[in-house]
Amino acid sequence: MARACDLPDIHGHFGSYGGVFVAETLFTALEELLIQYDRYRNDADFQMEYANELKSYVGRPSPIYHAKRLSAHLGGAQILLKREDLNHTGAHKINNAIGQALLAKNMGKSRIIAETGAGQHGVASATVAARYGMECTVYMGSEDMKRQEPNVYRMRLLGATVVPVDSGSKTLKDALNEAMRDWVTNVENTFYIIGTVAGPHPYPMMVRDFQAIIGREAKLQMQEEYGRQPDKLIACVGGGSNAIGLFFPYLEDKNVDMIGVEAAGLGIESGKHAATLLTGKPGVLHGNRTYLIQDEDGQIIETHSISAGLDYPGVGPEHAWLKDTNRAQYVGVTDDEALAAFHMLCRYEGIIPALESSHALAYAAKISPTLDKEKLLLVNLSGRGDKDIDTVSQATGTIF
């Protein structure tokens, strides 16, 4: 069997997942991307420039922080946080956006496009477009634009054109179709930045490689600061990019458990959730084969999560494979559990976490009391929660 860290194969397969399922018109664009990415991922100058950007623009390395008061309160295993919330723009998404924008620049593309649901990936794309002096168009469902107004304004401040998409359900999947259409038409000068480990090959591999800086740093920092590696890695899973970024460098470290936390929304039984790996079945969506939340006829079912970034009916194909091979374990955390963890981190550590990241925290808080005090749980704090305070105040009120 292939070693986990050697995947995907040359066709982009992680076991039976991944691959390239697109219209013929997109093949040329993907082929060009694959060849160029293959060239630059092995290019010392490119990697050096990427590393410099992460340092001077993003603010890496992000520290590992020991949440001592929270750990003492829970009374069990120690909770450590990988502070992706401290990155420029407040989340891990910038690691990938910078990498793809640099690739675009090296490929001689003058224009980038992106699709966005909650607006976080749109903001990261608009940010790097401004940074490198590129034109930027972001496709966004008109329904999402209403729900995420501050992010639409941020993108416009950064100089991006935000195009409302009025087809279908007017949300993320419709925006994605529009972005694909734009790419096919303008491939000559345009680079399409995908925001998570989804889409056709080579995107799941490429996005993972850019996010793997999280796990590589963590490995060094754990050795230096704690003299050993954590017992468990815990990260939330929407498309799965922050989770695979932390997990990937640890895949061959068999003593390190990996736990991906999906959004169980109002509870798995309610049907209103986004727990793809827990409840979905394999199928094809957005150019790759993976687990999907679908009905008997293969129709995608609408998902729900209090956190917009986890509200996606698919998941990266590498996670599908890690689940089937039992290398990683996947669990669900409800809206209410995530909210409780959100408040706990605010009060015990003075850190306002993103609602997405609060899902990972909630699971750590759940298992910590059952574990020995010497055990180390490394939680990926994928983003900061400033963007979520309105959602939180609507859900819990303003009185504590």
Site for ligand PLP in 278-317 (CB under 6 A): 309-310
The answer to whether 241 contacts ligand PLP (rule: CB under 6 A) is: yes
Name the catalytic one among 71, 318, 382, 387.
382
Helices (H), the chain: 24-41, 44-53, 68-74, 93-106, 120-132, 142-147, 149-157, 172-186, 203-211, 213-226, 241-247, 276-279, 317-324, 335-349, 355-367, 389-396
178 carries an active-site annotation = no
Q: Which stretch binds ligand PLP (CB under 6 A): 174-182, 214-222, 237-245, 274-282?
A: 237-245
Write out the binding residues for ligand PLP, residues 327-386 only, by CB under 6 A. 354, 356-357, 382-383
8-state DSSP, 300? B
**Beta strands at 13-14 and 17-18: parallel, antiparallel or unpaired:** antiparallel
Q: Helix or strand or coil: residue 328?
A: coil
Count residues contacting ligand PLP (CB under 6 A)? 18
**Catalytic annotation, pick one of 53, 71, 93, 170:** 93
* Of 290 and 382, CB closest to ligand PLP: 382
Q: Quote the CA–CA distance of 135 and 190 in Å, as a whole number.
A: 9
CA distances from 339 to 308, 310, 356 (A): 14, 14, 10
- Of positions 100, 171, 242, 290, contacts ligand PLP by CB under 6 A: 242
Residues 81-110 that bind ligand PLP (CB under 6 A): 91, 93
Q: 24 an active-site residue?
A: no
Q: Distances from the Cα of 5 to the Cαs of 14, 284, 316, in angstroms?
A: 11, 24, 15
Residue nearest ligand PLP, CB atom distance:
383
Contact set for ligand PLP, span 25-64 (CB under 6 A): none
Active site residue 368: no
Beta strand pairing status for 135-141 and 161-165? parallel
Q: Which of 171, 196, 290, 334 binds ligand PLP (CB under 6 A)?
A: 196
Q: Which of 8, 200, 230, 239 is in the footprint of ligand PLP by CB under 6 A?
A: 239
Active site residues: 93, 115, 382
Residues near ligand PLP, by CB under 6 A: 91, 93, 120, 196, 236-242, 309-310, 354, 356-357, 382-383
